[in-house]
Structure 1
Amino acid sequence: MRHSLPLAPQFYVTAPQPCPYLAGRMERKLFTALQGDQAEKLNDSLSKQGFRRSQNVLYRPSCSDCSACLSARINVAEFAPSKSQRRTISRNAHLKRHAASPWATEDQYSLFRRYLDHRHADGGMADMDVFEFAAMIEETPIRSRVVEYADEAGKLTAVCLTDVLDDGLSMVYSFFEPDLPKQSLGSWMILDHVNIARETKLPYVYLGYWVPGSPKMGYKATFSGLEVYRHGRWQKMKGLEEYAEDTHPLSTDPIAEQVANISLPDSRG
């Protein structure tokens, strides 16, 4: 199925498949190619409308009977670490950050494999080989960085593929040493990206999707200043009970209406 707007990118819909977050549900994605001279502008614009990047594709959940997946971002000006997060910052103070162009290395892939085998052995990326990993890291038509964290001995401990948007940092994919659970490295990378955003005067850190009721996504709700993209606008995150209606079949607009409501960047700029 294809839907398009005049003089605009073409939008497609994936076939339904089992949802990885909510049992008994089916997921479907609306997506478009990210290419050409307007790639950065398109990524900036659609990221503000709940889309995420995967290599040369921008996508957004568009399920037929559910709209529970909500794009989430931290408003940096309103973020303050909790006691637990301050402890996480202290525990990882020894880690050194290094940001570089998106280039895959053997050390990254070794860490990635350990992470997947320990945390997501039955996930959709479990069979990703080194060439597919390199494509995930390197195939980007926009301004992206690989942010690496190493310990005092120089051992690679955590990695995040990060896009630089015009209004923030988008954490595309992160992975870390699975044998260090007490260091809360996933949360630590988010906390450090808040610091990077402050250093570079960018107002937001985009975290991907938050799914109310999904244990896999619960950690995102622990960050203050969190906003979610819902009903066509960004709003402060509320209590779980506020999102119960989003799992109802009538909560989803028809695909054609969703596409018609997408704002695209001015191609004349």
Structure 2
Amino acid sequence: MTQHSRNTPQFYLTAPTSCPYLPGQEERKVFTHLVGERAGELNDLLTHGGFRRSQSIAYRPACETCRACISVRVVVDDFKPTRNMRRVLDLNGDVLGEMRSATPTSEQYSVFRAYLDARHRDGGMADMTVLDYAMMIEDSHVDTRLIEYRLRGPDSRLNGRGSGDVLGVALTDVLSDGLSMVYSFFEPGERERSLGTFMILDHIARAQNMGLPYVYLGYWVSGSRKMDYKGRFRPQERLLSAGWTRFE
């Protein structure tokens, strides 16, 4: 029997399933496990090649007849917010994000549950329990953080923390060249704040402060309402057959 080192990735292909983004299409994924001492290095390398992380799995689409899923990363130093994005920043001037270790809490899960019930009731994550949520946060062998977003408090300038209830949470990997937004969710009752947009803008600012050139947003799918918003954050680079290609 051939023996494989934990540091040598083995790739596998899933069976076809219904595509969650484009009706009438089927999706397949190629995936590998992110384990061992070189998991962080491998996560970096695979992210550069268009993979995404879910817990200790790195995956990317490998569909036979479709290439609609395109990896997108924002060019941080050249990014200029649109008028609407500046409005979102103004609306959330009273919100502060705190980067912390990837530790799940019941408060986070409460927001996560409300978010799924309001926006993804029929999705693949709809039945996730609090234990499933804890696994999503904790099952990582790479440099992963949580960013919690709360209202600013009177002592925020001193302690860098917000106060009040959690409004949103982002699970984020710190890569050698950027921040990768693995999953984010927010309080659905605060719709007027456009918290999803705000959290991306906050990540762009964080990456710039950390000296990182990119924010990885995952897959942009032309024609999918679920993914269309990612195309608004420009300039951005999209991973095409010729490599990462800039779009203004």
Q: What is the aligned partner in structure 2 of residue 179 from structure 1?
A: 189
CA contact (8 A) 2:61 2:69 kept: yes
Q: TM-score, normalized by length of structure 2?
A: 0.91
Root-mean-square deviation (Å): 1.3
For the residues of structure 2 that align with 1:83 and 1:191, how far apart are their CA atoms? Answer: 13
The amino acid of 1:138's aligned partner reads E
For the residues of structure 1 that align with 2:129 and 2:223, how far apart are their CA atoms? Answer: 32
CA contact (8 A) 2:170 2:199 kept: yes
Q: What is the aligned partner in structure 1 of residue 25 from structure 2?
A: 25
The amino acid of 2:72's aligned partner reads A
For the residues of structure 2 that align with 1:209 and 1:97, how far apart are their CA atoms? Answer: 24
Q: CA deviation at 1:232?
A: 5.0
Q: TM-score, normalized by length of structure 1?
A: 0.84
CA contact (8 A) 1:49 1:232 kept: no
The amino acid of 1:235's aligned partner reads T
Of the three residues 197, 206, 215, the one matched with 1:196 is 206
* Residues 164-222 of structure 1: CA deviation (Å, up to 9, x unaligned): 00000000000001011111100100000000001100000000100011111111111
Question: Where does structure 1 differ by over 2 angstroms across 4 or more consecutive aligned residues?
Answer: none
For the residues of structure 2 that align with 1:92 and 1:214, how far apart are their CA atoms? Answer: 27
For the residues of structure 2 that align with 1:72 and 1:123, how far apart are their CA atoms? Answer: 23
Q: CA deviation at 1:8?
A: 3.8
Percent sequence identity is: 51
Q: CA deviation at 1:237?
A: 3.4
The 5-angstrom pairing of residues 1-269 of structure 1 reads 8-152=8-152, 153-231=163-241, 233-237=243-247
| Partner secondary structure for residue 180 of structure 2 | strand
Which structure has greater strand proportion? 2
Task: Name the count of aligned residue pairs.
Answer: 233
* Residues 44-91 of structure 1: CA deviation (Å, up to 9, x unaligned): 011001000001010000101101100111010221000000000000
| Partner secondary structure for residue 123 of structure 2 | coil
Q: Which moved more, 1:225-234 or 1:14-23?
A: 225-234
For the residues of structure 2 that align with 1:232 and 1:180, how far apart are their CA atoms? Answer: 41
Gaps of 5+ in 1: 239-269
Gaps of 5+ in 2: 153-162
Q: Could you say if the C-alpha distance between residues 218 and 119 of structure 1 is closer, same or farther in structure 2, counting changes exceeding 3 Å?
A: same
For the residues of structure 2 that align with 1:133 and 1:230, how far apart are their CA atoms? Answer: 33
For the residues of structure 2 that align with 1:223 and 1:100, how far apart are their CA atoms? Answer: 25
Q: What is the aligned partner in structure 2 of residue 249 from structure 1?
A: none
